[in-house]
């Protein structure tokens, strides 16, 4: 009676995600069978699995774009690049996590599987045109992060962070789901191609419903990518969560959320253009709020939380340039900026994670004093990453900003470029504050001590350093890899 | 004449970078060796810059020793460097002052390794600024110089060093980020007109000279002009963007002040000569007046504020504001004399003020104070020091036979010429007021000398002062050599600049068709300053059979706008 045919599946498209999933599972099994042991075998397994997944992704870089599993999974260059970035971010985070977790007295093995599954959620998000799949990916990403944020159970701040993140995050997810429901109601499809078709009918009621649904979805994504005015959670959660989790969250969760946001806006570009004026103001607000609020902070992680907000604003500006002139501007800028943002922000987090000692967090500005003496390498990496965040040339951050400026001028959005320029100047102050604390100020009563850098941390630092410079000086190969993604 | 791959200029620029890498792997405790390595590196860099000078010819306004390597071709960014008459002396100045500063820095005792690494890094970025022929490359070096300077001030500076360093960084960054937007706008216009993205200064200027660049974008020109001008006005610095300078100068360590006054400020005036004059020919004439007014305000304001300082170093810092005002006055008179004077005054200021900071530094290392109240009567204790100080101070005043006279005189001459012709809405009164600046300079500098060296020596620590050591005498008198050389035979320095300066002036004021073009080597400025066409050309140095395109002073003196005349009559 019913002709049940399983959809044809191109397994190669899901291999990287499955690999990452299995890696997490393997880590959990090791933890199960060897309780109370050190985590080295879990770390090694995790790193191995992630590296394998990374190389599989790299091999598929030039593979033909296509969808499988009934349109649930998509493979294109944009998705693969962001998936590679996510896997890379997880890899680097794990590198510097073990030393930190031990110093922090929270050496729980489950950190690794959770971080890896969180990565998997992000990978699902950025490689699908199906709204439902994006939602599932988002939930996998978020739920793992809720747990990770509360990893340091003895600390009140960590608990506060986890709870705040959970409550607000679920609220945002509800918005997203509500939006998806409306879009489904209007178009009869959760696939973005269906949305485009529904919009093209020019039927007033359909369009209104789609507009509303899109608005709700934007709220959900705005929360995840920390756009003002949905950014309130960011500084608190960043500050409370363990430093390695914050680093992973700042880079990984940002890549996934921005990737999904870009895909949704870009696929249904005519629908998105209706939201352009609102998003324009969101971008301005985000840049202004993020940069100005950071000025008065005293905690490095809080500063970086606000910095993450302002960077979300910069990227949103680039996305809007694309939405406004989709024929002229591709996704290169966004991918490049996300890459460079990931390495520079992870670099800073890796450096400040070495400040943890005997269960203390050590992330106040004064805790960084004398860092140059304790570890010149860490101090150097910090300078370079901060210079990149400011946008000093010959770093990845400069070319990222440069490309955003270029896109904005091409798309004739000079006001956004001006706001970006002004807020970048403001940002100099707090980034220099961190550099000052680490290299100059030594007035602190007790100079903070820290454990010597372990090998993992060193490798993570050097990787970020090299990444920042490679993107700043040898940007051409990176751009070649990104290719001309113009939709 | 054709571009090569990496060559002499790159070797000179990146040699200090090699030094940095060497220092990074050197153990930090080995202070002597670290000083030695740095000194040798800067010395070899200086020698290399002399080779650049030898291979340079002043017979052409085109870029020489060109090197071009693709960098990010997809975005139209190339590594392209070269020198012309505008940059050649600035390069020499940079390598010379860097060497002297490192020599002086043997007084630095803390964190020597990092200090030297930052000094070398700074030298690379400064040289890079002057040789870049690609806007992004230029911007990269321009911005990158902030990082080492920030740390030099912030770590080895005086009491309020953090405030000064952050202020310095933010002011300069704020100015230049808008220049970045301007640079991108230029490249976008180029793409709109010619279909390809480029940041090549030569290509953009060539398109501007032919009039095909701005044709559809004239309304943008004034905005982009100010985006560039703002960056350089902050860097110069001109009133009202000068407030970072006294703080940074006073708080910086001596070597930092020398470099800051000697080279970093020149990046601003160099920017005007290299970009602002050639790139915006259709609007520059309307912008001369506001900038001239700022320059004159700077001259008077700097002098007046300098006169009331109680700190020697702060006095010299404010005198910088006044001196840079003269540079701008000369450049924006848009006359040949004025431009030559401005370009010369750049070098003079680098030498004279650099030397003053150095001398003050030598005194400070001995008695650890710079306040007038602690000084006085030093001439008896330090006769050699006083003699050198006197010469340097008089060159800063602008006494004839010293270099300062040449620069200030030519700059003033240019300003008067332009004002007499009634060009660009200039008033003779402006030039007269600027002239008072020279008098005021004599006032505050002579008073400074008097209060330091004459009078009773009442400070007990000062009575035990020792005069300069031999190596310090050699170091300080190398400046004196230049002061007299340039004062007595300025042609050594003026002649190599003449062609390039003449070309830049014509780029700014000539109409389409009569503008020199950096790209077209078949045009040249001849010995009389006329723009000519070259028939046969073997090298930059020699060419034959020429045909006149535009005489030197065809568009000068420019007549005053006719519309303003009736108004004047009516008022009478």
CA dist A201 and B147 (Å) reads 56
Nearest to A428 among B173, B180, B181 (CB): B173
**Quick one: which H or E segment has residue A451?**
none
A-B C-beta contacts closer than 8 Å: 79
Q: Report if residue A1 sits inside a domain.
A: no
Q: Report if residue A3 sits inside a domain.
A: no
Q: Report if residue A352 sits inside a domain.
A: yes
| Residues of B with Cβ-Cβ distance to A392 under 8 angstroms | 143-144, 146-147
Query: Taking CA atoms, what residue in A is nearest to B188?
Result: A410
Report the SS3 class of residue B546: strand
Nearest to A417 among B72, B73, B181 (CB): B181
Q: Which residues of A touch B (CB under 8 A)?
A: 372, 383, 387, 390-394, 398, 402-403, 405-406, 409-410, 417-418, 421, 424-425, 428-429, 432, 435-436, 439-441, 475-476, 479-480
Nearest to A475 among B72, B151, B155 (CB): B72
Give the pair of three-digit tokens for residue B572: 């009478």
Min Cα distance B325 → chain A (Å) is: 26
Nearest to A392 among B73, B147, B181 (CB): B147
CA dist B503 and B506 (Å) reads 5
Tell me if A394 and B147 make a contact (CB, 8 A cut-off): no
| Residues of A with Cβ-Cβ distance to B151 under 8 angstroms | 439-440
B220-240 tens-digit pLDDT: 999 999 999 999 999 988 888
Residue A63: which of A83, A46, A77, A78 has the closest Cα?
A77
- Cα Rg of chain A (Å, integer): 21
Q: Report if residue A6 sits inside a domain.
A: no
Q: In which domain, by residue range, is A60 found?
A: 11-482
Best A432, A437, A477 member to test B by mutation, with max B CBs in 10 Å, is A432
Tell me if A439 and B144 make a contact (CB, 8 A cut-off): no
Q: Report if residue A219 sits inside a domain.
A: yes
Q: Report if residue A295 sits inside a domain.
A: yes
Nearest to A406 among B70, B151, B184 (CB): B184
Min Cα distance B155 → chain A (Å) is: 6
Query: Taking CA atoms, what residue in B is nearest to A394?
Result: B140
Outline where A325-395 has alpha helix (H).
332-353, 371-374, 376-390
**Into how many domains does chain A fold?**
1
Give the pair of three-digit tokens for residue A326: 């989709």
| Residues of B with Cβ-Cβ distance to A402 under 8 angstroms | 136, 180, 184
Min Cα distance A235 → chain B (Å) is: 25
Q: Report if residue A235 sits inside a domain.
A: yes
CA dist B49 and A441 (Å) reads 38
Report the SS3 class of residue A51: helix
Could you write out the three-class secondary structure of B227-258? HHHHHHHHHCCCCCCCCHHHHHHHHCCHHHHH
ipTM of the complex: 0.91
- Exposed e or buried b for every residue in A381-394, given b needs 16+ CB within 10 A? bbbbbbbbbbbbbb
Q: Which residues of B touch A (CB under 8 A)?
A: 70-75, 114, 136, 139-141, 143-144, 146-147, 150-151, 154-155, 161-162, 166, 169-170, 173-174, 177-178, 180-181, 184-185, 187-188
Query: Taking CA atoms, what residue in B is nearest to A417?
Result: B181
Query: Taking CA atoms, what residue in A is nearest to B157?
Result: A440
Tell me if B151 and A439 make a contact (CB, 8 A cut-off): yes
Tell me if A479 and B174 make a contact (CB, 8 A cut-off): no
pTM of the model: 0.93
Tell me if A393 and B139 make a contact (CB, 8 A cut-off): yes
Written as tens digits, the pLDDT of chain A (487 aa) is 577 777 778 888 899 999 999 999 999 999 888 877 788 899 999 999 999 999 999 999 888 888 888 888 999 899 999 999 999 999 999 999 988 988 888 888 889 999 999 999 999 999 999 999 999 999 999 999 999 999 988 888 899 999 999 999 999 999 999 999 999 999 999 999 999 999 998 889 999 999 999 999 999 999 999 998 999 999 999 999 999 999 999 999 999 999 999 999 999 888 999 999 999 999 999 999 999 999 999 999 999 999 999 999 999 999 999 999 988 888 899 999 999 999 999 999 999 998 887 777 888 888 888 888 888 899 999 999 999 999 999 899 999 999 999 999 999 999 999 999 999 999 999 999 999 999 888 765 455 666 778 889 999 999 999 999 999 988 888 888 887 664 4
A431, A390 contact by CB (below 8 A): yes
Burial category of B405 from C-beta neighbours within 10 Å (exposed 0-12, middle 13-18, buried 19 and up): buried
Domain extent listing, chain B = 284-488
Tell me if A479 and B75 make a contact (CB, 8 A cut-off): yes
**What pLDDT score does B562 carry?**
44
Nearest to B146 among A372, A392, A429 (CB): A392
Q: Report if residue A4 sits inside a domain.
A: no
Min Cα distance B136 → chain A (Å) is: 9
B525, B499 contact by CB (below 8 A): yes
Written as tens digits, the pLDDT of chain B (572 aa) is 677 888 899 999 999 999 999 999 888 888 999 999 999 999 999 999 999 999 998 888 999 999 999 988 888 899 999 999 999 999 999 999 999 999 999 888 888 999 999 999 999 999 999 999 999 999 999 999 999 999 999 999 888 899 999 999 999 999 999 999 999 999 999 999 998 889 999 999 999 999 889 988 888 999 999 999 999 999 988 888 999 999 999 999 999 999 999 999 999 999 999 999 999 998 998 899 999 999 999 999 999 999 999 999 999 999 999 999 999 999 999 999 999 999 999 999 999 999 999 999 999 988 888 888 888 888 888 899 999 999 999 999 999 999 999 999 999 999 998 888 878 888 888 889 998 988 999 999 999 999 889 888 888 888 888 888 999 999 998 999 999 999 999 999 999 999 999 999 999 988 888 899 898 888 888 888 888 888 777 777 777 767 888 887 777 655 444 444 444 444 43
B255, B354 contact by CB (below 8 A): no
**What pLDDT score does A448 carry?**
61
């Amino acid at each position: 009676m019913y002709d049940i045919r399983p959809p044809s599946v191109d397994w190669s498209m899901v291999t990287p995600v499955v690999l990452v999933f299995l890696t997490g599972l393997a880590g959990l099994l090791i933890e199960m069978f060897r309780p109370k042991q050190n985590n080295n075998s879990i770390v090694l397994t995790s790193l191995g699995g992630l590296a394998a997944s990374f190389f599989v992704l790299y091999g598929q870089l030039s593979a033909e774009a296509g969808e499988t599993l009934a349109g649930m999974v998509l493979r294109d260059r944009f998705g693969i690049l962001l998936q590679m970035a996510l896997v890379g971010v997880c890899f680097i985070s794990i590198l510097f996590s073990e030393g930190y977790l031990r110093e922090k007295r929270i050496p729980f093995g489950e950190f690794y599987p959770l971080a890896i599954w969180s990565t998997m959620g992000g990978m699902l998000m950025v490689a699908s045109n199906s709204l439902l799949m994006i939602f599932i990916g988002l939930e996998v990403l978020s739920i793992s992060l809720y747990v990770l944020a509360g990893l340091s159970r003895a600390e009140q701040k960590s608990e506060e962070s986890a709870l705040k993140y959970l409550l607000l995050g679920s609220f945002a997810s509800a918005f997203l789901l509500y939006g998806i429901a409306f879009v489904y109601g209007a178009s009869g499809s959760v696939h973005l191609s269906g949305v485009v078709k529904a919009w093209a009918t020019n039927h007033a009621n359909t369009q209104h419903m789609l507009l509303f649904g899109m608005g709700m979805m934007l709220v959900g994504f705005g929360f995840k990518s920390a756009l003002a005015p949905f950014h309130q959670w960011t500084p608190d959660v960043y500050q409370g969560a363990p430093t390695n989790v914050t680093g992973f969250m700042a880079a990984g969760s940002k890549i996934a959320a921005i990737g999904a946001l870009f895909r949704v806006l870009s696929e249904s570009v005519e629908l998105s253009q209706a939201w352009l004026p609102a998003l324009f103001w969101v971008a301005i607000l985000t840049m202004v709020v993020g940069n100005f609020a950071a000025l008065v902070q005293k905690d490095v992680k809080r500063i970086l939380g606000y910095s993450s907000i302002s960077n979300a604003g910069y990227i949103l500006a680039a996305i809007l340039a694309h939405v406004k002139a989709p024929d002229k501007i591709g996704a290169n800028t966004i991918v490049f900026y996300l890459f460079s943002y990931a390495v520079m922000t992870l670099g800073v987090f890796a450096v400040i994670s070495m400040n943890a000692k005997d269960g203390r967090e050590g992330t106040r500005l004064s805790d960084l004093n004398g860092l140059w003496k304790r570890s010149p390498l860490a101090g150097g990496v910090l300078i370079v990453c901060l210079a990149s965040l400011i946008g000093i040339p010959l770093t990845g951050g400069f070319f990222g900003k440069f490309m955003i400026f270029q896109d904005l001028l091409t798309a004739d959005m000079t006001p956004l470029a001006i706001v970006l320029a002004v807020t970048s100047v403001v940002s100099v102050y707090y980034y220099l504050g961190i550099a000052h604390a680490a290299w100059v100020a030594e007035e602190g009563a007790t100079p903070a001590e820290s454990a010597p850098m372990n090998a993992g941390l060193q490798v993570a630092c050097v990787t970020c350093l090299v990444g920042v410079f490679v993107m700043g000086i040898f940007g051409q190969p990176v751009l070649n890899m990104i290719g001309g993604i113009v939709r | 004449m054709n571009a090569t791959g990496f060559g002499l200029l790159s070797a000179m620029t990146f040699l200090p970078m090699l030094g940095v890498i060497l220092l990074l792997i050197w153990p930090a405790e080995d202070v002597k060796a670290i000083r030695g390595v740095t000194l040798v590196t800067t010395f070899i860099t200086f020698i290399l810059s002399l080779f650049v000078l030898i291979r340079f010819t002043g017979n052409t306004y085109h870029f020489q020793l060109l090197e071009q390597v693709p960098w990010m071709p997809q975005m139209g960014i190339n590594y392209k460097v070269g020198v012309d008459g505008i940059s050649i002396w600035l390069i020499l100045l940079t390598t010379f002052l860097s060497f002297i500063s490192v020599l002086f820095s043997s007084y630095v005792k803390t964190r020597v390794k990092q200090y030297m690494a930052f000094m070398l890094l700074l030298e690379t970025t400064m040289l890079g600024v002057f040789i870049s022929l690609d806007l992004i490359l230029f911007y990269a070096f321009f911005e990158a110089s902030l990082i080492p300077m920030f740390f030099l001030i912030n770590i080895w500076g005086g009491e309020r060093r953090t405030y000064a360093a952050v202020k310095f960084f933010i002011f300069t960054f704020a100015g230049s980020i808008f220049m970045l937007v301007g640079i991108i706008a230029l490249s976008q216009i180029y793409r709109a007109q010619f279909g390809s993205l480029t940041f090549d200064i030569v290509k953009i200027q060539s398109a501007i000279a032919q009039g095909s660049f701005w044709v559809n974008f004239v309304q943008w020109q004034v905005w982009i002009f100010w985006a560039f001008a703002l960056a350089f006005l902050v860097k110069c610095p001109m009133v009202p963007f000068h407030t970072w300078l006294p703080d940074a100068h006073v708080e910086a360590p001596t070597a930092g002040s020398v470099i800051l006054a000697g080279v970093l400020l020149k990046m601003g005036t160099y920017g005007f000569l290299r970009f602002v004059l050639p790139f915006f020919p259709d609007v520059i004439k309307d912008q001369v007046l506001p900038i001239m007014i700022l320059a004159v305000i700077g001259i008077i304001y700097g002098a007046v504020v300098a006169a009331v300082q109680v700190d020697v170093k702060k006095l010299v810092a404010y005198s910088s504001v006044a001196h840079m005002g003269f540079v701008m006055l000369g450049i924006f008179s848009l006359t040949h004399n004025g431009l030559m004077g401005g370009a010369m005054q750049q070098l003079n200021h680098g030498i004279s003020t650099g030397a003053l900071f150095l001398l003050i530094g030598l005194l400070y290392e001995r008695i650890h104070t710079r306040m007038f109240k602690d000084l006085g009567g030093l001439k008896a204790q330090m006769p050699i020091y006083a003699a050198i100080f006197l010469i340097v101070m008089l060159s800063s005043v602008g006494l004839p036979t010293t270099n300062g006279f040449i620069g200030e005189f030519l700059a003033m001459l240019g300003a008067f010429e332009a004002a007499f012709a009634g060009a660009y809405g200039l008033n003779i009164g402006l030039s007269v007021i600027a002239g008072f600046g020279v008098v005021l300079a004599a006032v505050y500098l002579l008073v400074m000398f008097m209060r330091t060296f004459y009078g009773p020596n009442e400070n007990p620590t000062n009575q035990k002062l020792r005069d300069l050591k031999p190596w310090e005498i050699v170091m300080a008198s190398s400046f004196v050599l230049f002061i007299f050389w340039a004062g007595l035979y300025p042609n050594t320095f003026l002649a190599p600049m003449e062609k390039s300066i003449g070309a830049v002036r014509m780029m700014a004021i000539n109409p389409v068709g009569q503008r020199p073009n950096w790209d077209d080597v078949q045009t040249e400025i001849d010995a009389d300053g006329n723009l000519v066409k070259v028939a046969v050309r073997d090298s930059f140095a020699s060419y034959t059979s020429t045909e006149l395109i535009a005489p030197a002073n065809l568009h000068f003196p420019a007549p005053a706008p006719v519309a303003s005349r009736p108004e004047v009559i009516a008022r009478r």
